Structure 1
C-alpha cells in the first residue's frame, strides 16, 4: 500500500447532506437505479470484512486508507475498570462505500459520527460496521468519530490488547489485537500517524509512542499528549499508564531516549537501561540511522513471557532484568532484538502477515550478531544448531515465508521458531552465498529504501538480486518456501534432523 498521507484534515462532502440536488431528466432513471442499489446494499445484514490476509482473513478492511488516529482515553485509576475513550479516524476512501467497516471487538460503542453527522452502526463479528447518511465516493477524505469504552480484561493478557500490570496498564497488540483497544483498520499494511491523549488521576504517569507535546494538569488529574512523527502500524501502538518514572538520557546524534519504569524498581533497572544509547549506536553501524524520533524501554511490572517491539517504546517484563536466571549476555541480546525491530518490522513493516519472517529474521540476526561481537557466542554455532532443527520447524510451522495459520484462539500462534531462528537461517545462507560486503549493503539498503512503508518477500528477493548483481530468486525459493531446508552454502557437512 502506498505511504499514507500526512494531511489530517477532513474536507466536507462535495454535496452537503441538506443541499438541493438537480437531476436532468435524461439521468433520472440512472439516478433512481443507483439509489435503489444503495438501498439494497444498505439493507443487507452487516458482515465482517478483511483485506485478504491469508493468516488473518477478517483483519483490516477494504475501501479506505487511514491517514491518522486521534485517541483520547480517560483512566479511572483502576486497571480492572473500562476507560472512557474517543477515537477519531481520518481516512481517504479508495472505493465507493455505502458502509465502512472498522475492526473493534472489545468495548461498548456509545455513538458514531461520520464528518460530524450521526451514523448508524452495528457489530458484525469483530467489526464495527458504520453506515453514513450518504454513501462515500472514492477519493473522499472522511472523519469517523467513535465514542466508546476501552476494556481491560483480567489476567496476563494472552488475548492481547490491554496488559494489566501491578500499577496500571500497557499495550500488547501484536499481532491482531489493537482492535481490542480502539476502533481501527487493524492491519500492518495501513500505517498512519497517531495522536494519543491520556487523562489519569494524580499519582499516575501516562506515556505513549512518539514525542510528548503537552502536559495539562487540571485539579486532581493530568492529561498527557503524544504524537508520532512517522506512520505506525496499529499493532505497534504503545500506551503505558501507571505509577511510573520516566528516565531521560541522550542517544547518538542527540536522539532523545526515555525509559518508563515502575518507580519502586528504578534503581535496580538503571544498570540495564544505561546500555541503550550504546546499543543504538551499534545498530546504526549495521543498519543505518535510527529511523524514528525517540526510543526507550518500557518495563512492565507483570509476568508476560515475551518482549514486544512497540514503536519507539519497546515493552519488556521486569523479570527479564531482575531474575538472576537470565545471564547478562542473553538480556543484552533480547534488548537488541527489540531495538532492531525499530528498523526491521516497524519502519519497514510487513505488507501481509505472511511476510512476518522479514521482521523476526532480521531482529534475530542482530540479536545473534550482538551476542557474537560482545560475548563471543558465534553466529555460526547458533545457525548450525538452527539448521539441525529447521526441517522439524518447517513441518510444525510451515516454511518461513509461508507460515501456517494460528490455531483458533491462539493469536500469537504465527510466532513459531520457523520465523525466528528458522528465518535467520535464510539471512545466514544469503550472506554465505553473496559474501559479507554485499550482504551488509543489502541490509542498509532494505532499511532505507522501504523506510516508513511496507514491503513484501518479493521486494526483498528483488533487492537482494539487485544488490548481488544476479538473479537470486531460484536460490532463495527453497529457503523461503521449501518443505525441506536447502543445503547450506559453505557448509556441506551440516545436516538437518539433529
Structure 2
C-alpha cells in the first residue's frame, strides 16, 4: 500500500466436547463453552487469523445485484487441512449475514463472536483431516469507505482488504501467514465487466447476466484479493518473456490512461533487471474512479485511484515511481508475504526503496538526497510510530494508521544503510536470493537478517538490532555527517 501523495493475545486451543445437537432450521451447539474470537497471536492484530487449520484454497462465488449499495449474494468454499484436533473452528467474518454452513457436506452449527464466525461441525475434526467448508452468506459493501473491504466506485465495486478487511468481504483465515489458492466466480449484469486476480478461466452469459471466472496459479494472502466490477474496458499487452499484461480501466478513460499504462512493460523489465523474474502469471492495473487515499498492491492486479493519472498537478516522474512502488510489491509483500504484521517494513521499505531507485535512475531524482532527508526525519518517525520492525499498533478505528512514514522511507533507509554496510554487490545478491528463496511463501525479519549475514559473511545482529528496533536512528555508514533532527514535539496521544 502507498498513501496517495497530496499536493497480543496468546494463542488458544479450542475447547473440546463430544455433544452436539442440531436442528434443521437453525443448528445449535450444546455442551461447549461460549465461543470466543480467536487469533494466531499477532501483536498488531490480536484477533486476526485462526489456529488449528491451514487453508489450501478458496472458491468464492459472488452475485452482484447491479447497485453498489446493496449486499451481494455469496458462497465461499474453503478447503483446508486440520493441524490439530477440533470440536469447532473459527473463521474471520463480519459485515455480512450468514445463511448456512456445511462442513464436509453436512450441515454445521454456527454462531458469531466478535468478528469471528464460529462453526461446530456434526463430527469432531481430527488432526490431519481434510476440511471442506461452505458458507452461504451476503457480502455487504455499505458502510464507511475507510473501513476497507469493498470500495464503492462511480460505476461499481473494487476491493481494498489491507490490512485486516478481507473478512468484511468473505469468510476466511484473514492473515497473510496462511496463503492459499483462489478461484473467483462473479455474476453481474451483462452491461458490466468483472475481473479478479489471476487468469480468466471462463465466461458464461445468462441473458441479462454474465458469470466471469478467474483462478490464481500461485498462493495468495487474503489481504491481496481483488475483484473489480464496473463499466470497464480490459486492455491487453505483452510484458517481458511474453508475460500477459492486462489493465482494467473505466471505459470512458481508456485514451487518457493509455500513455501511463503502456509504461508497465518497461517497468517490469527494469524490476526484473534488479531482482529477477516476475513471480506471477500476469500483471496489470485496475484503475478505480474512487477516492481511497492510497494505491494497493493486490496480487497480479494493483489498485490505483483514477486521479493519480488524471490530476495534472502530479508530475510524470512521481506517477511513474508510484507505479513502480506497487509493482515492486508483487515480489515484496505478495510473493514473499509477511509472517507477522510487524514484518510490514520488509514490504513497504522494499517498495519505497525501488520506487526511489527508479526515480533516481530514470528521472534524476537523487536517491542519496531522499535518504538523507529520511535520515533527518527518522528519529521523529520512530518516536511517533515505533521503530521499523516494532511498529506500534494502529490507532483505534483507524487501521490505515499502521502505514506511517517509518514503514515507508523510514524502512527504505534501513536498506540504504545495509547497502552502505555490506556493499552494493552483496546487497544486490541478497535481494535476488530473498525473493527466490521465499517465493510463494512467508518470511520474517529474522529470516532476512540471517540471509544478509550469510551473504555478507559476518554477523549482522548488532546492525539489525540497532536499525530495526532502536528508538534512535544509528549513525549512517559512510555518512558520519548525517544528522537526525531533534524530536521536540510531544508524541500524539
Structures share fold, TM-score greater than 0.5: yes
Are positions 1:344 and 2:332 aligned together?
A: yes
Unmatched tracts of structure 1, length 5 or more: 1-33
Are positions 1:172 and 2:172 aligned together?
A: no
Question: Post-superposition shift, 1:490?
Answer: 0.3
Equivalent of residue 444 in structure 2, options 433, 456, 464: 456
Question: 2:138 maps to what in 1?
Answer: 149
What secondary structure is seen at the aligned counterpart in 1 of 2:298?
coil
Are positions 1:295 and 2:246 aligned together?
A: no
What secondary structure is seen at the aligned counterpart in 1 of 2:458?
coil
Change (3 A) 1:478 1:37: farther
Are positions 1:442 and 2:419 aligned together?
A: no
Question: 1:121 maps to what in 2?
Answer: 110
Question: 1:132 maps to what in 2?
Answer: 121
Question: 1:482 maps to what in 2?
Answer: 470
| Alpha-carbon distance between aligned partners in 1 of 2:263 and 2:376, rounded to the nearest angstrom | 34
Are positions 1:90 and 2:66 aligned together?
A: no
| Alpha-carbon distance between aligned partners in 2 of 1:383 and 1:412, rounded to the nearest angstrom | 24
Are positions 1:112 and 2:95 aligned together?
A: no
| Alpha-carbon distance between aligned partners in 2 of 1:298 and 1:345, rounded to the nearest angstrom | 18
Equivalent of residue 232 in structure 2, options 234, 238, 244: 244
What secondary structure is seen at the aligned counterpart in 2 of 1:454?
strand
| Alpha-carbon distance between aligned partners in 2 of 1:476 and 1:56, rounded to the nearest angstrom | 24
Are positions 1:191 and 2:199 aligned together?
A: no
Question: Post-superposition shift, 1:474?
Answer: 1.0
Question: Post-superposition shift, 1:49?
Answer: 0.1
CA contact (8 A) 1:384 1:494 kept: yes
Q: After superposition, where does 1:206-285 map in structure 2 within 5 Å?
A: 206-285=194-273
What per-residue deviation string (whole Å, max 9, x for no partner) do you get for residues 18-70 of structure 1?
Answer: xxxxxxxxxxxxxxxx9669999952111100000010000000000000000
Question: Post-superposition shift, 1:473?
Answer: 1.1
What secondary structure is seen at the aligned counterpart in 2 of 1:413?
helix
Change (3 A) 1:35 1:274: closer
What secondary structure is seen at the aligned counterpart in 1 of 2:75?
strand
Question: Post-superposition shift, 1:219?
Answer: 1.1
| Alpha-carbon distance between aligned partners in 2 of 1:154 and 1:201, rounded to the nearest angstrom | 23
Equivalent of residue 415 in structure 2, options 427, 431, 441: 427
Unmatched tracts of structure 2, length 5 or more: 1-15, 22-28, 487-493
| Alpha-carbon distance between aligned partners in 2 of 1:37 and 1:108, rounded to the nearest angstrom | 26
CA contact (8 A) 2:96 2:168 kept: yes
Question: 2:389 maps to what in 1?
Answer: 401
| Alpha-carbon distance between aligned partners in 2 of 1:106 and 1:67, rounded to the nearest angstrom | 24
| Alpha-carbon distance between aligned partners in 1 of 2:223 and 2:95, rounded to the nearest angstrom | 15
CA contact (8 A) 2:247 2:285 kept: yes
What per-residue deviation string (whole Å, max 9, x for no partner) do you get for residues 363-403 of structure 1?
Answer: 00000000000000111000000000000000000000000
| Alpha-carbon distance between aligned partners in 1 of 2:288 and 2:122, rounded to the nearest angstrom | 44
Q: After TM superposition, where is structure 1 displaced by more than 3 Å over at least 4 residues in a row?
A: 34-42
CA contact (8 A) 2:101 2:109 kept: yes
| Alpha-carbon distance between aligned partners in 2 of 1:280 and 1:318, rounded to the nearest angstrom | 21
Are positions 1:391 and 2:384 aligned together?
A: no
| Alpha-carbon distance between aligned partners in 2 of 1:144 and 1:425, rounded to the nearest angstrom | 44
CA contact (8 A) 1:356 1:419 kept: yes
Question: 1:71 maps to what in 2?
Answer: 60
Equivalent of residue 417 in structure 1, options 393, 398, 405: 405
Could you tell me the TM-score, scaled by structure 1's length? Answer: 0.92
Question: Post-superposition shift, 1:220?
Answer: 1.1
Are positions 1:49 and 2:62 aligned together?
A: no
What per-residue deviation string (whole Å, max 9, x for no partner) do you get for residues 162-216 of structure 1?
Answer: 0000010000000000000000000000000000000001210000000000011
CA contact (8 A) 1:154 1:164 kept: no
| Alpha-carbon distance between aligned partners in 2 of 1:41 and 1:433, rounded to the nearest angstrom | 61
| Alpha-carbon distance between aligned partners in 1 of 2:481 and 2:103, rounded to the nearest angstrom | 63
Question: Post-superposition shift, 1:154?
Answer: 4.5
Aligned length: 464
Question: 2:362 maps to what in 1?
Answer: 374
Change (3 A) 1:35 1:394: closer
